[in-house]
Amino acid sequence: MDLALNEDQRSFAQLTREFLEREVVPHRAEWDRREQVDRALVGKMGELGLLGLTIPEEYGGIGGDLLTYALTMEELGRADSAARGIVSVSNGLVGTSIVNYGSEEQKQQWLPRIASGQSLGCFGLTEPDTGSDAANLRMRAVRDGDGYVLDGQKIFITNGTWADVALVFARTGGEGPKGVSAFLVPTDTPGFEAREIKGKLGLRGQATAELFLSGVRLPSSARLGDEGEGFKIAMSSLDKGRISVAAGCVGIVQGCLEATVAYAKERRQFGRPIASFQMVQDLIADMSVDADAARLLVWRAADLYVRGEAYGVAASKAKYFASEAAVRAANNAIQVYGGYGYVDEYPVQKYMRDARVMTLYEGTSQIQKLLIGRAETGVSAFL
Ligand SMILES: Cc1cc2nc3c(=O)[nH]c(=O)nc-3n(C[C@H](O)[C@H](O)[C@H](O)COP(=O)(O)OP(=O)(O)OC[C@H]3O[C@@H](n4cnc5c(N)ncnc54)[C@H](O)[C@@H]3O)c2cc1C
């Protein structure tokens, strides 16, 4: 097994780091306080290629491999998970679904705009009464002449108020996963409304919204994939999305580690740097092992994907481990910072608040364990 990165992968990650150190790191605390990243960041990320990372070149993207994508998500997670989420959802969940399931017309319509940052996408699966149990979602899409009429509600939708296109999952058939279809809804369609959810614990710079669809009329050409294929599209996007979340979590662990080591060497108590105390090194050592272990799980999942092998369970393992590791690392980092870790002059309390959602979204830790348990035992605990 060759764990060495190639020149393209290394240089794109380096370019991304330099960009983020310049355009994001100096502003992240302020964006977090005012609960909004600077909108201009979207265009800048588009120019660098971050929003078209996995979109083929013929549609305006840079057609990077999944390991390059993971490395870039790690850099974004290290800098600011709010920015990482914008990219993961627009390019990862929405762009990739269009690449894999879109008609030529849908690809031409949306991919170049998503890749450049001219348009953002959001991914509307979760509803107020169906989170983990997404296969039972209630939003309806009823056939009407040559098209559909959509009615229902979505909640916790990243990029919701900023998006130009919403990939929305709605019920066209009977109960369960086979009754779900996917639709690309331009957000200026009459009857579509997005309301921002304020007061989040973390990811405060990111626009998270409730979506209300009331009599939204769409032509059949807005359906992504076949009727009844929606749940499959959602799950395949989320398998890949979990690699992205996991990679972002590696970035959180790495960011916590770097910040903590620097602080521990500088901060003195009892006449010595606190880095010289064994119990402080214990906390740092755990963070260091977590960073390596989480990164290797991410790379393994990305490598399986690149080689065309089954990668879903590997992605679940990476997402489960890395998200829990991010919470542990941020907690350790605050411990080493002492009281200074509790205020946002230093980055570690934001890492803690941002990390906390990682064990919840794109499948909670419990759901990842059920997926892993099903793979090990052959028995589904979902039924
Ligand atoms: C900031 C943020 C951004 C988000 N972005 C998006 C987005 O862009 N698009 C989108 O569609 N959704 C998004 N979500 C929603 C997210 O994916 C859901 O919150 C998540 O799937 C969990 O669903 P829930 O909140 O309804 O919790 P529930 O499903 O109600 O779960 C509550 C608890 O019960 C546990 N549980 C549930 N079922 C089982 C089971 N079978 N066995 C054991 N335990 C179980 C869960 O693990 C959890 O601990 C976002 C959420 C947040 C907070």
Domain range for 131: 122-228
Distance 367 CA to ligand 1 centre (A): 9
Which residues of the chain form beta strands (DSSP E)?
121-124, 140-144, 147-158, 165-171, 180-186, 192-196, 208-219, 223-224, 268-269, 272-273
Distance (Å) from CA 244 to ligand 1 centroid: 17
| 92, 145: one domain | no
* 373 and 236 both lie in a single domain: yes
Which ligand 1 atom is the nearest neighbour of the CA of 202?
A: 1
CATH number at residue 215: 2.40.110.10
Spacing, Cα 94 to ligand 1 middle (Å): 19
The one-letter amino acid code at 206 reads: Q
Give every CB contact of residue 333 below 8 A, 6+ residues apart in sequence: 256, 257, 259, 260, 287, 341, 348, 351, 352
- Provide the CATH number for the domain around residue 105: 1.10.540.10
Ligand 1, atom 20, residue with closest C-alpha: 361
Model confidence pLDDT, tens digit, residues 203-226: 999 999 999 999 999 999 999 999
Q: Please tell me whether residues 145 and 35 are part of one structural domain.
A: no
Query: Helix (H, G, I), strand (E, B), or coil: what is residue 29?
Result: helix
How far apart (Å, rounded) are the C-alpha atoms in residues 65 and 55?
10
Q: 18 an active-site residue?
A: no
CA 343 to ligand 1 centroid distance, Å: 28
Considering the domain architecture, whether residues 237 and 364 belong to the same structural domain is answered as yes
Ligand 1: does its nearest atom lie under 6 Å from the Cβ of 269? no
Our answer on whether the CB atom of 358 is closer than 6 Å to any ligand 1 atom is: no
Q: Please, what is the angle between helix 312-337 and helix 278-306, to 10°?
A: 160
Residues 27 and 155 in one domain: no
pLDDT on residue 1 = 77
Q: Which of 23, 75, 210, 362 is catalytic?
A: 362
Closest by CA to 187, choosing from 153, 162, 221, is 162
Q: Tell me the C-alpha distance between 185 and 7, whole Å.
A: 39
**Residue in 287, 288, 319 with CA at minimum distance from that of residue 301:** 319
Q: How far apart are CA 100 and CA 115, in angstroms?
A: 15
Q: Which of 139, 204, 324, 364 to mutate to test the pocket of ligand 1 (most atoms within 8 A of CB)?
A: 364
Q: Is residue 382 part of a domain?
A: no
Instruction: State the pLDDT confidence band at 382, using cuts at 50, 70 and 90.
Output: confident
Answer yes or no: is the C-beta of 126 below 6 A from any ligand 1 atom: yes
Query: Which pLDDT belongs to residue 2?
Result: 81
27 inside domain: yes
Question: Residue 317's domain is classified under what CATH number?
Answer: 1.20.140.10
pLDDT at 81 over 80: yes
Positive or negative torsion for Cα 42, 88, 10, 77 = positive
Residue carrying the six token digits 């001219």: 118
CB 124 less than 6 A from any atom of ligand 1: yes
Question: 62, 92, 120: which is the final residue of a domain?
Answer: 120
pLDDT at 3: 87
- Report yes or no on 206 lying in a domain: yes
Question: What angle in degrees, to the nearest 10, is found between the helix axes of 365-377 and 312-337?
Answer: 140
Claim to verify: residue 187 and residue 275 sit in the same structural domain: no
Torsion angle of the four alpha carbons 304, 78, 166, 107, in this order, in degrees rounded to the nearest 10: -50
The string of pLDDT tens digits covering residues 168-209 is 999 999 999 999 999 999 999 999 999 999 999 999 999 999
Nearest 10 degrees: CA dihedral of 239, 74, 101, 115?
Answer: 160
- 196 and 250 in a single domain? The answer is no
Whether residue 2 lies inside any domain: the answer is no
The tens digit of pLDDT for each residue in 308-357 reads 999 999 999 999 999 999 999 999 999 999 999 999 999 999 999 999 99
Instruction: Quote the ligand 1 centre to 134 CA distance (angstroms).
Output: 9
Give the number of domains in the chain.
Answer: 3
Does residue 130 form part of some domain?
A: yes
Residue 1, in any domain of the structure: no
Does the residue 79 lie in any domain?
yes
- The pTM assigned to this predicted structure is 0.97
End position of a domain, from candidates 120, 139, 163: 120
Range list of H helices, 186-277: 230-266
- Residue where one domain finishes, among candidates 205, 228, 251: 228
